[in-house]
């Protein structure tokens, strides 16, 4: 029986390896090895007839004490014995080399000095012995450290390797990922192999780990080798290719993870904790948009900036991003107490200085005027709005008050108090709207663009699609439904939407504030629209489940005001390119006669004891102001006041 297969010996070895080796013991072992390699070197060269004719007795009496003393001094000076042996790395190997080099210099100087003064060959080991001993001792000290580390990893850490992973990508990023996993005691994984579609790499080994062709990693392969995770480690991987990889392993019993971009690594180094499960955002059918941060910085620097709706999904991200710029003062306004409090706590982590958190409702003109008069902002980012389509379809009065009155209130005050720029957050649902929410946002767009033609304040509109991860959006809804055991609900099998991430949406708003002069409606090239049914299947897949075996998708029918596809431009709008290839400007037709008076009349409508009657009146007036508004699948369809 092999000794290491004995449970008792294995247990004892494991317990000993777990203990941190005392430094004095490491030093003693290094000295012992150095003396022995010296004797072995002398014996080997004597056997080959190389070197001096000294006897072993002379070597042991005259030279070994010298070797012991000089190596002791060299090891003390270089501290080569102070490293934790079980975590030996490149720097430890370098220290061993430094120590042996210094020892070799010492012995050359010492032997030359004694030989010159005494002319006795017993003090001169010879060039061959010195050179061979240097090489042999360096290898011995390094090898034993690596051996100890290997034994520690195998016997002590081995029982912690509960998950086998494969790394997709055998390039530099893949190797860095491998090292991050191996060096992290808390990762609890062992790397079984790499995958790479380059033929020259297939079949080779990296640190003893085999590189496989992805086509060879079949379902049977995964089950046979108990692979539980696949980590995708390819930098700048296009979303389309990432989707292909995800689809390939869709039916495999594995968890898919991804290595983040190099720019996000902590101090330039990857840690195992940064390797995360793939998010649906990673599968967007286009590359993430990168905007001109320097232009934004120049626009924000030294300015007083005010954000309405600052505690919402978009407003809070705008606020957080603004905290990274050199503003003069930042005023964050919202009526939602708890979310605003959470934003306040976040600002402390982001070192957001000169930030004021103000409770206020944009519908309250008196409160807004007191605040704007006090702070006198240079730029206003207006993100306050009601956005949920079904809810606003049932509450048109509140939609008008928040989205139209709220925007009008803040916009009028921006004119009155000479705000330089007013940037409004809009939505693609404002284009050819089929619901109350989209129609009210369209009214807000039209109102601020008309103001731009009359006053010095620059009014700018940003229009984009659905925001992944925002409150009430489809992804959090799908995840909640999965936690509840399903089914996932989709309103129509062919319904599509444009998507962008929250950081992208907010960067667009900030960029618009920087590059806009006034009167522009900025639209965002978001690539191809995404089929919600396919998105639902992807969310199921990334949750480690299968459709339809584990989770079903239920078609519920279009909701009131909902349309199958969204648009970014109305039929009478044209898109003009900007200096950024992904940002366009829509020329809006806003020449409706008597528009301002009609808006004032709309806002004079009061809630009555008959909500439906009030709603019908409001919708009729909105349709007059926004002729392209056609209620879809709605109780207001075909009704006139």
CA–chain centroid gap for 442, Å, is 34
pLDDT band at 17, cuts 50/70/90? very low
User: Average pLDDT in the 383-397 region?
Assistant: 91
Over residues 190-206, the pLDDT tens digits come to 899 999 999 889 999 99
Q: Which of 384, 377, 319 is nearest to 352 (CA)?
A: 319
Which positions ≥6 away from 64 have C-beta within 8 Å?
A: 35, 38, 39
pLDDT band at 126, cuts 50/70/90? confident
CA distance 52 to 42: 9
pLDDT of residue 635 exceeding 80, the answer is no
The H or E element that residue 344 is part of is helix 337-349
pLDDT of residue 336 exceeding 80, the answer is yes
Q: Which of 112, 126, 207, 125 is nearest to 167 (CA)?
A: 207
pLDDT band at 1, cuts 50/70/90? very low
Specify the pLDDT at position 299: 92
Q: In the chain, where are the structural domains located?
A: 3-157, 161-278, 293-389+420-429+457-589
pLDDT of residue 296 exceeding 60, the answer is yes
pLDDT of residue 428 exceeding 60, the answer is yes
Residues above pLDDT 70, as percent of the chain? 82
pLDDT band at 403, cuts 50/70/90? very high
CA distance 498 to 465: 5
As a whole number, the mean pLDDT across the chain is 82
Specify the pLDDT at position 253: 83
* Phi, psi torsion values for 142, nearest 5 degrees: -70, -45
CA distance 205 to 510: 48
Helix (H, G, I), strand (E, B) or coil at 140: helix
The CA-atom distances, in angstroms, between 53 and each of 42, 49, 584 are: 10, 9, 89
Q: Which residue has the higher pLDDT, 91 or 427?
A: 427
CATH 3.30.70.360, applies to 161-278: no
267: left (phi over 0), alpha (psi -120 to 50) or beta: left
CA–chain centroid gap for 453, Å, is 41
> Residue 613: how many CB atoms within 10 A of its CB?
11
CA distance 316 to 297: 18
pLDDT band at 534, cuts 50/70/90? confident
CA distance 176 to 631: 55
pLDDT of residue 2 exceeding 50, the answer is no
User: Average pLDDT in the 456-473 region?
Assistant: 80
Exposure string for 228-260, b = 16+ CB within 10 A, e = fewer: bbbbbbbeebebeebbebbeebeebebbbbbbe
CA distance 29 to 75: 12
Q: Which of 466, 532, 461, 523 is nearest to 500 (CA)?
A: 466
pLDDT band at 621, cuts 50/70/90? very high
Specify the pLDDT at position 47: 75
- Enumerate the H helices of 52-89 as residue ranges: 56-58, 64-78
Pairing between β-strand 276-277 and β-strand 521-524 as defined by DSSP bridges = unpaired
CA distance 436 to 388: 10
User: Average pLDDT in the 293-319 region?
Assistant: 91
- Sheet with 163-168, strands from edge to edge, namely 205-206, 209-212, 189-195, 163-168, 227-232, 255-258, 276-277
Dihedral of the alpha carbons of 465, 468, 472, 474, in degrees to the nearest 10: 90
pLDDT of residue 55 exceeding 80, the answer is no
pLDDT band at 162, cuts 50/70/90? low
Over residues 203-241, the pLDDT tens digits come to 999 988 999 999 999 999 999 998 988 999 998 887 778
pLDDT band at 13, cuts 50/70/90? very low
What fold does the segment set 293-389+420-429+457-589 form as a domain?
A: Rossmann fold (3.40.50)
Which positions ≥6 away from 635 have C-beta within 8 Å?
A: 393, 560, 612
Which candidate in 149, 421, 429, 537 is catalytic? Answer: 429
Which positions ≥6 away from 333 have C-beta within 8 Å?
A: 306, 307, 308, 309, 310, 358, 359, 360, 362, 371, 384
pLDDT of residue 254 exceeding 70, the answer is yes
pTM of the model: 0.65
User: Average pLDDT in the 257-262 region?
Assistant: 83
Active site residue 429: yes
Find out whether 232 and 196 touch, Cβ atoms under 8 Å: no
pLDDT band at 244, cuts 50/70/90? confident
Peptide bond into 548 cis (omega under 30): yes
User: Average pLDDT in the 448-456 region?
Assistant: 90
The CA-atom distances, in angstroms, between 18 and each of 24, 151, 157, 383, 492 are: 17, 10, 9, 57, 59
Q: Which residue has the higher pLDDT, 441 or 27?
A: 441
Helix (H, G, I), strand (E, B) or coil at 371: helix
Q: Which residue has the higher pLDDT, 24 or 246?
A: 246
> Please, what is the angle between helix 64-78 and helix 90-118, to 10°?
140
What residues does 425 pair with on adjacent strands? 462
CA–chain centroid gap for 53, Å, is 68
User: Average pLDDT in the 149-173 region?
Assistant: 72
Specify the pLDDT at position 366: 96
Specify the pLDDT at position 470: 65
Specify the pLDDT at position 185: 64
């Amino acid at each position: 029986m092999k000794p290491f297969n004995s449970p008792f010996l294995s247990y004892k070895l494991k317990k000993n390896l777990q203990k941190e080796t005392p430094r004095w013991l490491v030093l003693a072992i290094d000295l012992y090895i150095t003396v022995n390699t010296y004797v072995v070197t002398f014996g080997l060269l004597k056997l080959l007839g190389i070197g001096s004719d000294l006897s072993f007795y002379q070597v042991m009496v005259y030279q070994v004490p010298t070797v012991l003393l000089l190596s002791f001094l060299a090891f003390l000076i270089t501290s080569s014995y102070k490293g934790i042996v079980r975590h030996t790395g490149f720097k430890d190997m370098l220290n061993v080399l430094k120590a042996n080099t210094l020892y070799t210099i010492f012995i050359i100087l010492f032997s030359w000095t004694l030989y010159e003064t005494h002319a006795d060959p017993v003090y001169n080991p010879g060039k061959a012995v010195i050179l061979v001993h240097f090489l042999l001792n360096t290898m011995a000290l390094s090898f034993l450290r690596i051996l100890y580390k290997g034994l520690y990893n195998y016997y002590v850490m081995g029982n912690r390797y509960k998950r086998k992973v494969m790394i997709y990508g055998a390039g530099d990023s893949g190797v860095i990922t491998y090292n991050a996993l191996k060096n992290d005691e808390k990762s609890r994984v062992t790397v079984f192999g790499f995958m790479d579609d380059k033929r020259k790499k297939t079949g080779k080994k990296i640190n003893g780990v085999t590189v496989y062709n992805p086509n060879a990693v079949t379902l049977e392969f995964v089950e046979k080798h108990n692979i539980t995770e696949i980590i995708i480690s390819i930098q700048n991987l296009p979303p389309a290719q990432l989707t292909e990889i995800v689809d390939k392993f869709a039916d495999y019993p594995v968890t898919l993870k991804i290595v983040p971009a190099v720019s996000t690594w902590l101090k330039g180094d990857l840690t195992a904790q940064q390797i995360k499960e793939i998010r649906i955002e990673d599968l967007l059918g286009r590359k993430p948009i990168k905007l001109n941060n320097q232009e934004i910085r120049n626009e924000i620097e030294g300015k007083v900036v005010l954000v309405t709706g600052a505690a919402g999904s978009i407003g809070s991200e705008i606020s957080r991003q603004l905290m990274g710029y050199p503003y003069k003062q930042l005023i964050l306004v919202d009526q939602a107490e708890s979310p605003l409090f959470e934003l306040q706590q976040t600002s402390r982590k982001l070192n957001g200085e000169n930030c004021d958190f103000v409770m206020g409702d944009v519908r309250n003109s008196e409160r807004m005027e007191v605040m704007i008069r006090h702070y006198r902002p240079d730029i206003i980012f207006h993100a306050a709005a009601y956005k949920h389509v079904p809810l606003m379809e049932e509450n048109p009065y509140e939609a008008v008050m928040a989205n139209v009155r709220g925007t009008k209130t803040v916009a009028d005050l921006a004119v009155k108090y000479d705000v330089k720029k007013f940037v409004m957050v809009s939505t693609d649902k404002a284009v050819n709207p089929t619901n109350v929410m989209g129609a009210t946002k369209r009214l807000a767009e039209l109102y601020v663009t008309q103001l731009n033609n009359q006053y010095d304040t620059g009014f700018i509109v940003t229009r984009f699609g659905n925001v992944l991860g925002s409150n009430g959006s489809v992804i959090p809804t799908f995840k909640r439904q999965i936690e509840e055991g399903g089914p996932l609900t989709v309103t129509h099998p062919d319904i599509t939407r444009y998507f962008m991430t929250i950081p992208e949406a907010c960067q667009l708003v900030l960029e618009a504030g920087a590059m806009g002069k006034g009167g522009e409606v900025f639209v965002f090239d978001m690539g191809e629209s995404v089929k919600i049914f396919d998105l639902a299947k992807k969310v199921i897949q990334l949750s480690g489940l299968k459709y339809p075996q584990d989770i079903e998708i239920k078609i519920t029918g279009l909701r009131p005001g909902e349309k199958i596809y969204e648009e970014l431009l109305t039929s009478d709008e044209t898109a003009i390119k900007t200096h950024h290839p992904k940002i366009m400007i829509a020329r809006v037709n806003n020449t409706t006669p008597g528009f301002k008076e009609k808006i004032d009349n709309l806002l004079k409508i009061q809630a009555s004891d008959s909500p439906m009657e009030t709603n019908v009146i409001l919708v009729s007036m909105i349709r007059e102001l926004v002729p392209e508004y056609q209620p879809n699948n709605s109780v207001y369809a075909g009704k006139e006041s």
